[in-house]
């Protein structure tokens, strides 16, 4: 049925993969109408024949998907941990490396020593590689400062990057990432600093959109994280949680109790944990990059998530120690091959469900009227091709807020920064 349209631009000539309700919901030979940076209509090209559009753009084949969303990253950091990669291959565990001063605390030392400019420049080199693969929204955590000023500096850098680059950036305070060396014998003291001093300053300065924590035997207990989350709630900040990555714990139930936007990792989530997450609408964010690099064997309970209707997101977990991953598209393949997700589930995991994990599902993650006009044209015949191809950069055209984006690729620095 022909529609009356008055728009700034009409994009057509490709099959539109809307991802409405987390399904392909494919419209063959579709069209997308955009006005003031938002989608105002999606449908068949033939139904838009009479549209009044200032610009018409013909993709000439292929598919269009929502802009990709990387909902869990640690892209701002100093230093390099390739030595630990070798150590793990020579038999040391993640916990053993951490116990001898490596792991997160190694990056903390390097991050504290770096200037804001150095942190921003190295992060920028990493970010632009994600942008080149169709990412239009991403999340970046603090958590490598682990003192008041360094955490604030990281969050200020994240906010500055959002102003400089054509990507929407969700900032997360992860001050409860590891026990700082200064508080090795007094982790509760650091929790007090987070609650009494850091979170109030972050809220006052508008430096974070959410609060995260690492609930694990080598990080913080459920009781300690609960105090951080209660404080975050008092300041009106939603919470997310690193949970059940290395062992069974109370993390998932804690995430459910505080109605966390997401619980992330979840290799050791139990059936009861999954029920709790489902009851509260918490998204399961799966991170196959860390699973792969750490050579884990305990897979997240995918079938249980399906049974109980828990939305599954996928993310790069880009970080210097356990997931030096700069390809979200590779995570689609890993989600399928390592975790047993379907290509449709994987694509939903970096679009609609990733948006849910950031509290953005009303405005992002699918191609529907009223949502931000972020979408990507791919030279593929089927959406499963995004998860199918290994390695290499698939050429793509990115539309960001209704305009064709020129990705700011520059420099020859190493991807790891």
- 282's tokens: 């918490």
Q: SS in 3 state form for 367-392?
A: CCCCCECCEEEECCCCCCHHHHCCCC
HSE (CB half, 13 Å, CA atoms) of 324?
15
**Given 3-state DSSP classes, what are the helix, strand and coil percentages for the chain, each rounded to the nearest 5?**
35, 20, 40
Q: Transcribe 11-47 into DSSP letters.
A: EEEEEEE--GGGS--EEEEEEEEEETTEEEEEEEGGG
Q: Answer yes or no: is 87 a known binding residue.
A: no
Q: Is 144 annotated as a binding residue?
A: yes
The token pair at 343 is 């290509």
Whether residue 322 is annotated as binding a ligand: the answer is yes
Beta strands 262-265; 240-243: pairing state: parallel
User: Do the beta carbons of residue 323 and residue 77 sit within 8 Å?
Assistant: no
Q: Is 177 annotated as a binding residue?
A: yes
- CA proximity to 139, closest of 202, 209, 194, 38: 209
Q: Tokens at residue 222, please?
A: 């459920």
30 annotated binding-site participant: no
Distance CA 238, CA 229 (A): 8
As a whole number of angstroms, the distance between CA 397 and CA 294 comes to 34
Q: Any binding-site annotation on 129?
A: no
259 is in an annotated binding site: no
Does 353 count as an annotated binding residue? no
Contact 232, 211 (CB under 8 A): yes
90 is in an annotated binding site: no
Residue 117 annotated as lining a ligand binding site: no
Q: Is 74 annotated as a binding residue?
A: yes
3-class SS of residue 169? strand
Known binding-site positions for Zn(2+): 72, 74, 242, 317
Known binding-site positions: 72, 74, 81, 144, 177, 242, 245, 317, 319, 321-322
Known binding-site positions for Fe(3+): 72, 74, 242, 317
Known binding-site positions for N-formimidoyl-L-glutamate: 144, 319, 321
Known binding-site positions for 4-imidazolone-5-propanoate: 81, 144, 177, 245, 322
């Amino acid at each position: 049925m022909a529609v009356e349209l008055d728009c700034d631009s009409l994009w057509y000539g490709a099959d539109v993969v809307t991802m409405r309700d987390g399904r392909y919901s494919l419209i063959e030979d579709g069209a997308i109408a955009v006005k003031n940076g938002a989608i105002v209509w999606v449908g068949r090209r033939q139904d838009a024949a009479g549209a009044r559009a200032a610009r018409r753009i013909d993709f000439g084949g292929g598919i269009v998907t929502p802009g990709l969303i990387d909902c869990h990253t640690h892209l701002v950091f100093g230093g390099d941990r390739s030595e630990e990669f070798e150590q793990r291959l020579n038999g040391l565990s993640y916990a053993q490396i951490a116990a001898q001063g490596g792991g997160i605390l190694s990056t903390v030392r390097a991050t504290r020593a770096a200037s804001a400019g150095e942190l921003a420049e190295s992060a920028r080199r990493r970010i632009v590689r994600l942008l080149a693969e169709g990412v239009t929204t991403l999340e970046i955590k603090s958590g490598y400062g682990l003192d008041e000023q360094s955490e604030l500096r990281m969050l200020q850098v994240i906010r500055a990057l959002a102003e400089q680059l054509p990507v929407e950036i969700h900032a997360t305070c992860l001050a409860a990432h590891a026990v700082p060396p200064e508080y090795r014998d007094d982790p509760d003291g650091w929790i007090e600093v987070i609650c009494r001093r850091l979170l109030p300053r972050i809220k006052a300065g508008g430096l974070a959109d959410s609060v995260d924590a690492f609930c694990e035997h080598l990080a913080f207990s459920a009781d300690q994280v609960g105090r951080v989350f209660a404080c975050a709630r008092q300041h009106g900040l939603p919470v997310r949680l690193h949970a059940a990555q290395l062992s069974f714990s109370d993390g998932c139930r804690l995430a459910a109790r505080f109605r966390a936007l997401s619980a992330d990792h979840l290799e050791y989530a139990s059936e009861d944990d999954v029920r709790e997450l489902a009851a509260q609408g918490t998204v399961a964010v799966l991170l196959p990059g860390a699973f792969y690099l750490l050579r884990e064997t305990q897979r997240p309970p995918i079938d249980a998530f399906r049974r109980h209707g828990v939305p599954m997101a996928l993310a790069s977990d880009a970080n210097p120690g356990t997931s030096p991953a700069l390809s979200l598209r590779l995570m689609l393949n890993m989600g399928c091959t390592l975790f047993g997700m379907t290509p449709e589930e994987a694509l939903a995991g970096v679009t609609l469900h990733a948006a849910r994990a950031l509290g953005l599902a009303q405005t992002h993650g699918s191609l529907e009227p009223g949502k931000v006009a972020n979408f990507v044209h791919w030279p593929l015949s089927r959406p499963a091709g995004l998860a199918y191809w290994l390695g290499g950069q698939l050429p793509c055209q990115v539309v960001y807020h209704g305009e064709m984006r020129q990705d700011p690729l520059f420099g020859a620095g190493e991807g790891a920064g």
